[in-house]
């Protein structure tokens, strides 16, 4: 990392610590359960537009990951014998989600975050809760039908995601070139394709399907069939906190073994979902079904 990048990271950390009451009050030597017990609240990070994992419908946070985290919160209440424990929902972006977890601003990161070996150096992940393919969204009139057609095109990805690395790896293997652009949010990336500022938006296919289902421009867009790769999602926890990790993992694994995770999956991927009651019709993959039978935190 360049020296200037380190200064920016340091300034960002200072800003978070100065502005967040949860961080000011918390000793970083305090375990997550101790922190939650002392302040009578659990801070749950969520996304605002990661359909169907974690997103806003009016003032309410909903989604597949949110439902899983709700069960974890109930387990924390039971563990602490505090049924009145306050739950504070904290909005996150792709760029700040890991930093918010590392600094203790949030206790759980409940969104659509890929578990990677690099990220495991910063935070801890639960066993995989979803496996997504990585695909490209293009305009129907673009003439782009496969990944090979993206050679020399403008490809946009969203800051803070692993997608840019995946695209560059695939392109390097094929000796392709692309003019890459970065956007601050997924919605901005999508608008760049719609407005012809970019030829393709590459992201996890489940998220792209969610955008297509709810976008007024859906009729102009399509997903390519080919995958760039596969991304295992996990719920993020603060690193080096074995007590909290054990509680969270045992809760999730119990849900996986009992079939509860599959029921929640069917609710969000095979049933009409808010706000437009559209069914994404994404059957559970064999890969995910195997991971529910044999939970793994391995990541990419």
Q: Give me the pLDDT at residue 19, please.
A: 47
151/273 same-domain check = no
- Does residue 17 sit within a domain? no
Query: 73 with 206, same domain?
Result: no
Is residue 239 one of the residues assigned to a domain? yes
* Any domain includes 25: no
Question: Is 275 domain-assigned?
Answer: yes
Domain that holds residue 105: 30-129+234-293
Alpha carbon distance 159, 184 (integer Å): 6
> 163 and 88: one domain?
no
Cβ neighbours for 167, distance < 8 A, ≥ 6 positions apart: 155, 157, 178, 180, 202, 228
Question: What are the residues whose beta carbons fall under 8 Å from the beta carbon of 280, sequence distance 6 or more?
Answer: 52, 206, 209, 210, 213, 268, 269, 270, 273
Residue 40, in any domain of the structure: yes
pTM of the model: 0.83
7 occurs within a structural domain: no
Residue 5: predicted pLDDT: 41
Query: Is 4 within the bounds of a domain?
Result: no
Same-domain pairing of 120 and 150: no
Rg (CA), the chain: 19
Judge if 215 and 87 occupy the same domain: no
Q: Are residues 112 and 250 in the same domain?
A: yes
What is the reported pLDDT for 214?
Answer: 86
The reply to whether 252 and 125 lie within a common domain is yes
Domain CATH code at residue 190: 3.40.190.10
Q: Are residues 118 and 249 in the same domain?
A: yes
* 160 and 280 share one domain: no
From the list 134, 287, 246, the residue with the least C-alpha distance to 201 is 134
Per-residue pLDDT of the chain (300 residues), as tens digits, is: 333 343 344 445 445 444 444 444 444 678 999 999 999 999 999 999 999 999 999 999 999 999 999 999 999 999 999 999 999 999 999 999 999 999 999 999 999 999 999 999 999 999 999 999 999 999 999 999 999 999 999 999 999 888 988 999 999 999 998 889 999 999 999 999 999 999 999 999 999 999 988 889 999 999 999 999 999 999 999 999 999 999 999 999 999 999 999 999 999 999 999 999 999 999 999 999 999 999 999 988
At 25 the pLDDT is: 44
Q: What local confidence, expressed as pLDDT, does residue 15 receive?
A: 52
Of the residues 230, 258, 274, which one is the last residue of a structural domain? Answer: 230
pLDDT at res. 210 = 92
Residues 115 and 149 in one domain: no
Q: Tell me if 84 is assigned to some domain.
A: yes
Of the residues 230, 245, 271, the one at which a domain ends: 230
Confidence at residue 160, expressed as pLDDT on a 0 to 100 scale: 87
Residue finishing a domain among 230, 265, 285: 230
3-state secondary structure of 85: coil
Are 202 and 238 in a shared domain?
no
Q: What is the β-pairing status of strands 229-233 and 130-139?
A: antiparallel
Domain tally, the chain: 2
Q: What is the pLDDT of residue 23?
A: 46
φ/ψ bin of 175: left (φ > 0), alpha (ψ from -120 to 50), beta (otherwise): left
Regarding whether 58 and 171 lie in a shared domain, the answer is no
């Amino acid at each position: 990392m360049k020296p200037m990048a380190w200064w920016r990271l340091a300034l960002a950390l200072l800003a978070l610590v100065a502005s967040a009451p949860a961080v000011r009050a918390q000793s970083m030597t305090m375990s997550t359960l101790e922190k939650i017990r002392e302040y009578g609240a659990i801070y749950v990070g969520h996304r605002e537009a990661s359909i169907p994992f974690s997103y806003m419908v009016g003032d309410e946070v909903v989604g597949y990951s949110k439902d899983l985290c709700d069960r974890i919160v109930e387990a924390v209440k039971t563990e602490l014998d505090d049924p009145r424990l306050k739950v504070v929902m904290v909005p996150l972006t792709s760029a700040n989600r890991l930093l918010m977890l590392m600094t203790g601003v949030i206790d759980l990161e409940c969104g659509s975050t890929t578990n990677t070996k690099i990220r495991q150096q910063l935070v801890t992940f639960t066993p995989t809760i979803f496996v997504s393919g990585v695909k490209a969204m293009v305009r129907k009139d673009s003439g782009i039908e496969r990944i090979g057609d993206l050679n020399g095109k403008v490809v946009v990805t969203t800051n803070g995601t692993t997608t840019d690395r995946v695209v560059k790896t695939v392109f390097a293997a094929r000796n392709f070139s692309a003019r890459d652009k970065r956007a601050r949010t997924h919605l901005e990336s999508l608008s760049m394709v719609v407005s012809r500022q970019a030829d393709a938006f590459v992201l996890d296919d489940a998220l792209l399907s969610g955008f297509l289902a709810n976008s007024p421009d859906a009729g102009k867009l399509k997903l390519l069939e080919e995958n760039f790769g596969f991304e295992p999602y996990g719920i993020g926890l603060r690193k080096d906190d074995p007590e909290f990790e054990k509680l969270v993992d045992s809760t999730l694994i119990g849900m996986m073994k009992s079939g509860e995770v599959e029921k929640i999956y069917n609710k969000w991927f095979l049933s009409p979902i808010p706000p437009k009651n559209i069914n994404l019709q994404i059957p559970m993959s064999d890969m995910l079904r195997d991971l529910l039978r044999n939970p793994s935190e391995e990541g990419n």
